[in-house]
Chains A and B, each alone.
Chain A
Amino acid sequence: ETGVTQSPTHLIKTRGQQVTLRCSSQSGHNTVSWYQQALGQGPQFIFQYYREEENGRGNFPPRFSGLQFPNYSSELNVNALELDDSALYLCASRPTATSGANVLTFGAGSRLTVL
């Protein structure tokens, strides 16, 4: 059973709207990352948070933003939704931001459809 849970599992929005996706990580996992997986593609790194601050971002515009909370939960917010934002959004966590040996644990994702 995965230690990372995400909600909602599915949602539908219209272009221009805003969406918030939620993630709950395992206790002690103080690093969280978010990925976007378009249909038929591999996941793409959006950004990562460590101790409630963003400390790494992929090639995504500022309308993609996040929050991390002390209770190991986090959010991904996307403003001004576009049709191309339709994808599976995956949350991943691991215990520390400094060790390269730790492995990311992924959640099952939130599937967003933008109409």
Chain B
Amino acid sequence: AQKVTQAQTEISVVEKEDVTLDCVYETRDTTYYLFWYKQPPSGELVFLIRRNSFDEQNEISGRYSWNFQKSTSSFNFTITASQVVDSAVYFCALSEAKTGANNLFFGTGTRLTVIP
């Protein structure tokens, strides 16, 4: 069965600190996608990044970076030099080839608060 675990319920950091959000996933499918979405107070889910199961290349995009490790089934997300605007709930999600790209399995989210 598929499952996404975000063990950190809430994290608070002071502005300009780095913060890493953890995500562990479970799937029996060999082809799958992993996602990070951001949900600000307005409610809409904002797409941040997608990785497929065959691409373990880690990426840095501005202040964001991602660490995908199939060996530990983890897909962690780091924000460097955090800003107040980064305050939101962050969701890790999984889609499997067998259930389709529209069926995302989400974790329970990590609420990040950046204190000025």
Contacts and interface: CB of A to CB of B under 8 A. Distances in A.
A94 B42 CA distance: 21
A26 interface: no
Given A42-B91, A43-B45, A48 B109 contact: no
Interface stretch (B58-66, B67-75, B79-87, B100-108): B100-108
Contacts of A104: 47, 101-102, 104
Contact of A108 (B43, B97, B101): B43
Contact of B101 (A2, A35, A99): A99
A86 to B, nearest CB: 15
Interface size class for chain B? 20 to 34
B16 interface: no
Interface string B85-116: 00000010101010111111111110000000
Given A56-B99, A100-B33, A103-B47, 9 more contacts: A35-B104, A43-B45, A43-B106, A88-B43, A90-B43, A92-B45, A100-B31, A101-B101, A108-B43
7 contacts: A33-B102, A44-B106, A94-B102, A100-B95, A101-B50, A106-B44, A108-B44
